A and B are shown apart, each in its own frame.
Chain A
Amino acid sequence: MVPLYALETRGITKRFGALIANDQIDLTVKPGEVLSLLGENGAGKTTLMNILYGLLRPDEGQILVGGRPVEFRSPRQAIDLGVGMVHQHFMLIPAFSVAENVVLGMRKKTGAVISRTRLRSSIREFSHRYNFDLDPDARVGDLPVGLQQRVEILKSLYRGAQILILDEPTAVLTPQETGDLFRVIRHLQGEGKSVIFISHKLNEVMEISQRVTVLRLGKVQGTVETSATSPAELAKMMIGRDLAAPSSPRTGGYTGPTLSLQGLTVRREGKEACSGISLDVWGGEVLGIAGVDGNGQNELVEAILGTAPVASGRVILDGRDITGKGPARAIDAGLALVPEDRQTRGLIMDFSIAENLILESHRAAPFRRGFFIDEAQVNRFAAGMIQTFDIRSGGGASAPASSLSGGNQQKVVLAREISREPKVLVVMKPTRGLDVGATEYVHRRLLEERAKGKAILLVSSELEEIKGLSDRIAVMHRGAVTGLVWPDVSEEDLGQLMTGAKTMLSALGPRGGGEQ
């Protein structure tokens, strides 16, 4: 007899010290069902998944697989019971082949000696069965991200997974790849396998799942049938209130190109990371840079900052040539940068909030007094910033940055960069890892800066963010600009620009800006 639920949790509770990360979580997944687990960052999704995968042990509660109570002590036990997990960050060895990655760490099926021919043919068989289109001999490092993800899924299936947990699987994919992934998921469903789909993207959740369980503050807010709900209702369950649409008040006009990239080419480790990029960012506009991660965006930003070697071309900021002059000169010329990785590039985690706030401006008055740093000035400034930017710190300005939540860390970076009154603001994935409330705040601040006439370069792989904030969108593929388009571009076109399937240069200057 087929049990009612492939997987069930009853009253799962997990505490970290005084904090309850999971509070009496009840969750059910039927065989052949796709269940979405929806929640903001910090809602307890990852904790719950780590419990289901045997990485964490619950303080209370029970897990049932196929109707039988089980206890996972390690991921190996979880996989033995048919629970597989695909992490957001792949656990693959790039230098190994697909086949090698699939059998890596397996004990049962292989024995001491691995027969390569048998292995290859069985992987080819698997790949064929699920329409995976994977060559067992391909080096994983050479595969695009979408195919690497399939290797991860194949790994779980090869180990006999009946229940597959996918943690934010679409975060790294293009729209087309997402479509492919959904076809794979539907195929698995057809075979009677269950999928737990973790995401905070409402439209994807609506599209792929039959039921949605919403977590908020460690508790289950409810489980609903997808067919009987709407994105708005899910958003409300997720954040506890209605979601305000990002508004973009268009107050100031455009003030002409403030940041001008002229034929910028960056070579790194012998490869051309950016090829002849020419872009103007006008004062008063947000120019979004869309593209799949690793298509030259990082190098472009580093070239502007002056930390990547520029092979040819120029970076002009407000009329000044800052090409290859290094960060100090770029900052002095009026550049502000919110880096993607705030924990290593944006902040010094051991440093206090106050110290992080003066990381750039300590070099000059009023914070510098001869050889010394004027602590009274620093503290006054920090107290002001904490208030203006609503930085929530239990320990005040002297608390280390590491004690802050992600959203508050980002506020420290924003406060530092915006308070210097820069002319150009380069922002990379500014809301990565932030919850909905903090995301709204960051977007509002950026639009305020735009209204003040700042030129803003926004690099992001979140298409919603790019389309919602940008006046124009540049699309990068393999180091080149394949598109310069208006934000009302279709997802279809955007996806094709991101994969280099076509080129489209229609938005050469901001709307109405060209006639100035």
Chain B
Amino acid sequence: MKARPHLDSVLAAARQLIIPSLAVLSAFVAGAVVVAAAGFNPVQTFAALLDGAFGSGINFTETLVKSTPYLFTGLGVAIAFRSRSFNIGAEGQFYMGALAVSWLGVAITGLPSFILIPLLLAAAFVAGGAYGAIPGYLKAKVGASEIVTTVMMNSIAVQIVSWIIKGPLQEPRHFYPETAEIVNAAKLPVLVPGTRLHLGLVIGLAMAVAAYILIFKTVLGFQIRAVGSGALAAEYAGINVRRNVVLAMAISGGLAGMGGAVELLGVTWKLYSNFSPGYGYSAIAVALLAKRNPLAVILTSLLFGALATGANNMQRAAEVPAMLASVMQALVIFFVLGYAVYEDRFARYWAERKPRDRGPHAAAAGKEAAGSNA
């Protein structure tokens, strides 16, 4: 008796993977056509891509390093999407988190790593969270579209950073447009000697688990999901819709901000222009491909990390411009959104294969309703 629902949920989870996998596969097929049209050998190109991403120990750790910022921003976007807030602002929130630690990581001296690092991450969470809460508040209070406000706030964040790295926080010699290097105690420890793989990945994985628990096991997560799936019913049930929208946006921004901090503390050690190659934007695809499930974000961020590292190798080995990797990313997004259309039909197909024993009459009522809506 007990094993059965378990098996069912495993099967259900497996079915969830079919559409995203098809999307990725289709993206590669379409990508092959593009590569061939550009005059390259698709087999060679993809071999180089795969080799670059997973071909050796060092390549694989590089993939993991590249995946880490996608993981944080992807988690953030996934949580906002759960409340039906389309946070397009992970990019700006990522920058705000990085900005906070680029300052505090230089300013605070004399603290040991095990105190300083959590402190910096918390500061980044607060900075990104506040930056996400502003559009959340505007949405809740006056109904301003968060899609518009978050995009605008991305531009503001980028402009603030480009001013600050030439102004108040410019490195002491005032020569390069970048901040000073953070103190050694603030740098994230390397996990595997001889690689760049740093503790940020572990923190990210822990955050994915925490986000999963938050969304599916807590009162707050229940309310966020309720607001996202049925705002009117949630409101009627006495759930404070505005408060939950603001909170979801704040947590979302906080995670993106932490991502910026982890990238800075683990990889770059300082802040400069184009610090993010668009992690916050790709995060939207990472979250959608994962169907807003925090645990699945682990897999989808790995895919995006692999595309990024693989692209470099593709350029070196197959002499295919790295731009084609961007084309691949775009194709993945395109197909994910495209297949979403088929998702409902697919779900219906499975529902019909496993008819529920609610009697032909009740089923007929459902059908009739469905028919008349069409």
Same assembly: yes
B364 touches A43 (CB 8 A): yes
Residue of B nearest to A43 (CB): B364
Known contacts A344-B233, A348-B230: A44-B358 contact under CB 8 Å: no
Residue of A nearest to B354 (CB): A394
Task: Kindly state the separation between the CA atoms of A236 and B233 in the bound complex, as whole angstroms.
Answer: 37
**Number of CB contacts from chain A to chain B under 8 A:** 142
Q: Nearest-CB distance from A117 to chain B (Å)?
A: 39
Interface residues of A in 8-47 (CB under 8 A from B): 16-21, 41-47
B226 touches A351 (CB 8 A): yes
Known contacts A46-B368, A217-B361: A373-B234 contact under CB 8 Å: no
Q: Nearest-CB distance from B271 to chain A (Å)?
A: 34
Task: Kindly state the separation between the CA atoms of A217 and B362 in the bound complex, as whole angstroms.
Answer: 9
Interface residues of B in 51-84 (CB under 8 A from A): none
Q: Nearest-CB distance from A237 to chain B (Å)?
A: 15
Q: Which residues of A contact B220 (CB under 8 A)?
A: 371
Does B13 belong to the interface (CB within 8 Å)? no
Residue of B nearest to A416 (CB): B237
Task: Kindly state the separation between the CA atoms of A185 and B363 in the bound complex, as whole angstroms.
Answer: 34
Residue of B nearest to A350 (CB): B229
Q: Which residues of A contact B369 (CB under 8 A)?
A: 406, 433
B352 touches A17 (CB 8 A): yes
Interface residues of A in 354-410 (CB under 8 A from B): 355, 359-360, 362-363, 368, 371-373, 375, 392-395, 398-399, 403-408
Count class of interface residues, chain B: 35 or more
B364 touches A21 (CB 8 A): yes
Does B346 belong to the interface (CB within 8 Å)? no
Does A324 belong to the interface (CB within 8 Å)? no
A406 touches B365 (CB 8 A): yes
Residue of A nearest to B237 (CB): A359
Q: Nearest-CB distance from A238 to chain B (Å)?
A: 12
Task: Kindly state the separation between the CA atoms of A375 and B229 in the bound complex, as whole angstroms.
Answer: 20
Task: Kindly state the separation between the CA atoms of A286 and B238 in the bound complex, as whole angstroms.
Answer: 24
Q: Which residues of A contact B357 (CB under 8 A)?
A: 394
Known contacts A21-B368, A362-B219: A327-B358 contact under CB 8 Å: no
Query: Interface readout for B237-254 with A: 1 if CB under 8 Å, 0 if not?
Result: 111100000000000000
Q: Which residues of B contact A21 (CB under 8 A)?
A: 364, 367-368, 371
Interface residues of B in 192-231 (CB under 8 A from A): 217-220, 222, 225-226, 229-230
A19 touches B364 (CB 8 A): yes
Q: Nearest-CB distance from B351 to chain A (Å)?
A: 7
Does A50 belong to the interface (CB within 8 Å)? yes
Known contacts A394-B358, A407-B362: A372-B218 contact under CB 8 Å: yes
The binding surface of chain B is classed by DSSP as: helix
Residue of B nearest to A361 (CB): B237
Task: Kindly state the separation between the CA atoms of A56 and B364 in the bound complex, as whole angstroms.
Answer: 16
Task: Kindly state the separation between the CA atoms of A394 and B368 in the bound complex, as whole angstroms.
Answer: 19
Task: Kindly state the separation between the CA atoms of A371 and B247 in the bound complex, as whole angstroms.
Answer: 15
Residue of A nearest to B364 (CB): A42
Task: Kindly state the separation between the CA atoms of A43 and B237 in the bound complex, as whole angstroms.
Answer: 33
Task: Kindly state the separation between the CA atoms of A37 and B374 in the bound complex, as whole angstroms.
Answer: 21
A408 touches B358 (CB 8 A): yes
Does A6 belong to the interface (CB within 8 Å)? no
A373 touches B236 (CB 8 A): no
A47 touches B365 (CB 8 A): no
Does A424 belong to the interface (CB within 8 Å)? no
Does A229 belong to the interface (CB within 8 Å)? no
Does A346 belong to the interface (CB within 8 Å)? yes
Select which of B352, B356, B367, B371 is within 8 A of A399 by beta carbon: B356
**18 CB < 8 A contacts A-B:** A17-B352, A19-B363, A41-B365, A42-B362, A43-B364, A44-B368, A47-B368, A217-B364, A218-B364, A327-B238, A330-B238, A344-B232, A346-B236, A350-B230, A371-B219, A373-B219, A398-B5, A406-B369
Interface residues of B (CB under 8 A from A): 5, 217-220, 222, 225-226, 229-230, 232-240, 351-352, 355-372, 374
| Shortest 8 CB-CB contacts between residues of A and residues of B | A394-B356, A42-B365, A405-B362, A328-B238, A348-B230, A17-B352, A359-B237, A327-B238
